[in-house]
Amino acid sequence: MARPVIAIVGRPNVGKSTIFNRIIGDRLAIVEDKPGVTRDRLYGTGEWNGRAFNIVDTGGIEIEGEDEIMKSVRMQAELAIEEADVIIFMVDAKSGLTLADEEVAHILFRSHKPVVVAVNKVDNQGRADDVYEFYGLGFGEPIGISGSHGTGIGDLLDAAVGKLPEIEEDPYDEDVIRVALIGRPNVGKSSLVNALLGEERVIVSDVAGTTRDAIDTPFERDGQRYVLIDTAGMRKRGKVYESTEKYSVMRALKAIERADVVLIVINGEEGIIEQDKHIAGYAHEAGRACIFVVNKWDVVEKDDKTMQQFTQKIREQFLFMTYAPIVFLSARTKQRLHKLLPVVNHVSEQHAMRIQTHLLNDVVADAVAINPPPTDKGKRLRINYVTQVSVRPPTIVIFVNAPEIMHFSYERYLENKIRAAFDFEGTPVRLFTRRKSEED
The domains of the chain, with CATH numbers, are 5-162 (3.40.50.300), 177-351 (3.40.50.300), 357-435 (3.30.300.20)
Query: Is position 40 annotated in a ligand binding site?
Result: no
The Cβ of residue 376 has, within 10 Å, a number of other Cβ atoms equal to 12
What does DSSP assign to residue 163?
T
Q: What is the pLDDT of residues 22-38, one digit of tens each?
A: 888 754 444 444 443 33
CA 285 to mean position of chain CA atoms: 7
Query: What are φ and ψ of residue 5, in 5° steps?
Result: -120, 130
Q: Are 146 and 227 contacting, i.e. CB atoms less than 8 angstroms apart? A: no
Confidence at residue 213, expressed as pLDDT on a 0 to 100 scale: 45
Q: Are 55 and 8 contacting, i.e. CB atoms less than 8 angstroms apart? A: yes
Query: Is position 57 annotated in a ligand binding site?
Result: yes
Query: Is position 12 annotated in a ligand binding site?
Result: yes
Query: Is position 187 annotated in a ligand binding site?
Result: yes
Query: Is position 61 annotated in a ligand binding site?
Result: yes
The rounded distance, in Å, linking the Cα atoms of 225 and 427 is: 20
Query: Is position 302 annotated in a ligand binding site?
Result: no
Query: Is position 59 annotated in a ligand binding site?
Result: yes
Cα angle 295, 300, 304 (rounded to 5 degrees) comes to 110
Q: If 0-12 CB within 10 Å is exposed, 13-18 middle and 19+ buried, where does residue 201 land?
A: middle
Which ranges of the chain have pLDDT less than 70? 1-2, 26-42, 59-77, 79-80, 170, 199-215, 230-251, 438-440
Query: What are φ and ψ of residue 438, in 5° steps?
Result: -65, -35
The Cβ of residue 126 has, within 10 Å, a number of other Cβ atoms equal to 8
Query: Is position 122 annotated in a ligand binding site?
Result: yes
Task: Answer positive or negative: Cα dihedral of 280, 282, 284, 287.
Answer: negative
Query: Is position 10 annotated in a ligand binding site?
Result: yes
Confidence at residue 253, expressed as pLDDT on a 0 to 100 scale: 75
Query: Is position 13 annotated in a ligand binding site?
Result: yes
Query: Is position 296 annotated in a ligand binding site?
Result: yes
Query: Is position 371 annotated in a ligand binding site?
Result: no
The rounded distance, in Å, linking the Cα atoms of 331 and 351 is: 26
Query: Is position 321 annotated in a ligand binding site?
Result: no
The rounded distance, in Å, linking the Cα atoms of 153 and 144 is: 9
The rounded distance, in Å, linking the Cα atoms of 397 and 277 is: 28
Query: Is position 58 annotated in a ligand binding site?
Result: yes
What does DSSP assign to residue 165?
P
Query: Is position 189 annotated in a ligand binding site?
Result: yes
The DSSP string of 328-365 is E--TTT-TTGGGHHHHHHHHHHHHT----HHHHHHHHH
Confidence at residue 427, expressed as pLDDT on a 0 to 100 scale: 97
Q: Are 88 and 139 contacting, i.e. CB atoms less than 8 angstroms apart? A: no
Nearest to 429 by CA among 399, 401, 400, 388: 388
Q: Are 397 and 387 contacting, i.e. CB atoms less than 8 angstroms apart? A: yes
Q: Are 248 and 233 contacting, i.e. CB atoms less than 8 angstroms apart? A: yes
Query: Is position 231 annotated in a ligand binding site?
Result: yes
Query: Is position 406 annotated in a ligand binding site?
Result: no
Query: Is position 227 annotated in a ligand binding site?
Result: no
Query: Is position 16 annotated in a ligand binding site?
Result: yes
Q: Are 296 and 269 contacting, i.e. CB atoms less than 8 angstroms apart? A: yes
- Give whole-number Cα distances, 19 to 22, 150, 170, in Å: 5, 8, 32
Q: What is the pLDDT of residues 109-134, one digit of tens each?
A: 888 899 999 999 988 877 788 888 99
Query: Is position 190 annotated in a ligand binding site?
Result: yes
Query: What are φ and ψ of residue 245, in 5° steps?
Result: -60, -25
The Cβ of residue 231 has, within 10 Å, a number of other Cβ atoms equal to 26
Secondary structure of residue 312 in the 3-state scheme: helix
Query: Is position 67 annotated in a ligand binding site?
Result: no
Query: Is position 111 annotated in a ligand binding site?
Result: no
Query: Is position 298 annotated in a ligand binding site?
Result: yes
Query: Is position 295 annotated in a ligand binding site?
Result: yes
Confidence at residue 250, expressed as pLDDT on a 0 to 100 scale: 63
Q: What is the pLDDT of residues 220-254, one digit of tens each?
A: 899 999 998 866 543 333 433 443 444 456 667 77
Respond yes or no on whether the N-terminal peptide bond of residue 393 is cis (omega within 30° of 0).
Answer: yes
